[in-house]
Amino acid sequence: MDREEPFVVTVASEKGGVGKTTLALNLAVYLKALCEDLPVTVASFDNHFSVDGMFAIGPRRAGTVAGLFSGVPASDLARLGEYGVQFLPSARDLQAPDDDSLHLRRAIARSGLPGLIILDTRPILDYFTRNALCAADLILVPVKDRPSLVNVATLRSALGAPESQDRMWIVPSLVDGRLKLRNGIGVGEFLTLSARERGYRVLDFCISKSPKVEGLATGLSGRIHPVLTRARSTAVHQQFRKVASFVLSKFQEPGRSRTTLEKAGEAGNFPPGKVRKLVAECPVCRKNSTEDIGHFFLHLRTRRRGMLHGACLHALLEKLETPAPESADILIVETPEEYAASEGVLLHFFESEEEDLTRETRAGNSRLLSACLEGVIGRKSEEWFREVIFVSLEENRLSGFLTGKAGEDFMALRRKALRSAVGRERRTGPPGAF
């Protein structure tokens, strides 16, 4: 999968000793083993020099991870290391240059580094950890006990908007399979159930505690060895392979071009939560729509949002048997439970003056419509279940919808349309009332 900018994985925890650095370093090695052609770069904001201990080849050269915050291009800082992994040399004393949580994110956007970047963070929610969280496409949080799980709430709070929190996954770590809690419940099962009760996303397997793996980071030479080469006989080997496969699946997910999103965010000074679920391309023509005047759309369940070009929306609506009313302010697209076997989707037009769903029509199942909805929803049609999409019939720029009055008006219309749908359902029953 080609990307103009790297996919960023941040490994974070507010509690030390949970296996955070071991996970970050070994993840880089396993990713290269699973996908040899994938460029992988790893960096750490901690001062224990573990990254250097595993990947450094030859004498230390000038340039460290601190350069990311002083304007040095990341491509100039990266060094080719062991196992084909690039790394940014660690720094003894990192100093925060400002109070901008998006500093690193912009630096990575300009980095020129392809592929995937793994960021190991400090066991504290400081400037550098906040920057790593804001830069991340995926956040892995290892937890080994109840205190480390409780501390995850601080990270979730730092991420802000719910759509930003969707990037965070819990990884039960350093789990001793021999240890049982009350009623015979294992530690891994306890952590998984407790995390899900708190509303977190959790990997469906654990990283085991292994003395052999722990011994790979000790030695007189200071060299750290990966599980892949020195502990293949342990259960941890297969577990790290599963983590790497999970990360690859996230890296390969379709849906957005990070380059255009970052440019949109920088140009409009949008908060991170505003662009995390942004679809950069028009879902009909698949061309960048972040800088054009168009029609804003919002997928109700996932909060994915973006812009439809005016001509593309017109191409969809002109195929309707009943034309859209000129006075309509917002279009609502509703898919049935079994879209693939249906005749199409249901369309509702909402007029703010009437505060009612003034017209309802059905759009036939066409290749163009299916491709458009797949781009909006981010999933194939066989995975849809009563999806609801709101589309503004007013044209404006993306910045107007994300931070301006057009966006406020759109959200007010969406709320009115939802209230109208609830009223209709009470009067006529659930079918077609989204």
The string of pLDDT tens digits covering residues 11-28 is: 999 999 999 999 999 999
Residue 305 lies in a domain: yes
What pLDDT is recorded for position 30?
97
Residue 90 in this model has a pLDDT that exceeds 70: yes
For residues 186-224, one letter each, b for 16 or more C-beta atoms within 10 angstroms of the residue's C-beta and e for the rest, the string is: bbbebbbebbeeeebebbebbbbbbeebeebbeeeeeeb
Region 394-419: what's the mean pLDDT? 87
Residue that is last in its domain, among 191, 219, 251: 251
- Rounded to the nearest integer, the mean pLDDT of the chain is 84
Provide long-range contacts, Cβ within 8 A and 24+ apart, for 336-343.
336/386, 337/385, 337/386, 339/365, 339/381, 339/382, 339/384, 340/381, 340/382
* pLDDT > 70: percent of the chain: 84
Residues 269 and 176 placed together within one structural domain of the fold: no
What pLDDT is recorded for position 275?
65
User: Measured between alpha carbons, how far is residue 279 from residues 125, 312, 320 in Å?
Assistant: 29, 15, 26
Q: What is the 8-class DSSP label of residue 217?
A: G
Residues 162 and 70 placed together within one structural domain of the fold: yes
| Residue 77 pLDDT class (50, 70, 90 cuts) | very high
Which among 387, 398, 331, 389 has a CA at the least distance from the CA of 359?
331
Q: How far apart are CA 50 and CA 65, in angstroms?
A: 13
Residues 218 and 271 placed together within one structural domain of the fold: no
- Quick check: 79 and 36 in contact, CB under 8 A? no
Domain total in the chain: 2
What pLDDT is recorded for position 262?
47
pLDDT digits (tens, 9 = 90+) for 371-380: 888 888 877 7
Residues 271 and 336 placed together within one structural domain of the fold: yes
Region 38-65: what's the mean pLDDT? 90
Residues 211 and 268 placed together within one structural domain of the fold: no
Residue 425 in this model has a pLDDT that exceeds 80: no
- Per DSSP, helices labelled H in 302-428 are 310-317, 367-377, 398-403, 405-428
Residues 391 and 287 placed together within one structural domain of the fold: yes
| Residue 161 pLDDT class (50, 70, 90 cuts) | low
Residue 271 in this model has a pLDDT that exceeds 70: no
Place of tokens 């002083």: 70
The domain of 65 spans 7-251
| Residue 341 pLDDT class (50, 70, 90 cuts) | low
Q: How far apart are CA 33 and CA 168, in angstroms?
A: 24
Torsion of CA 175, 180, 183, 187, to 10 degrees: -10
Q: How far apart are CA 64 and CA 139, in angstroms?
A: 23
What pLDDT is recorded for position 227?
96
What pLDDT is recorded for position 355?
59
pLDDT digits (tens, 9 = 90+) for 281-327: 888 887 878 878 999 999 988 888 899 999 999 888 887 766 777 78
CA angle 117, 260, 252 (to 5 degrees): 45
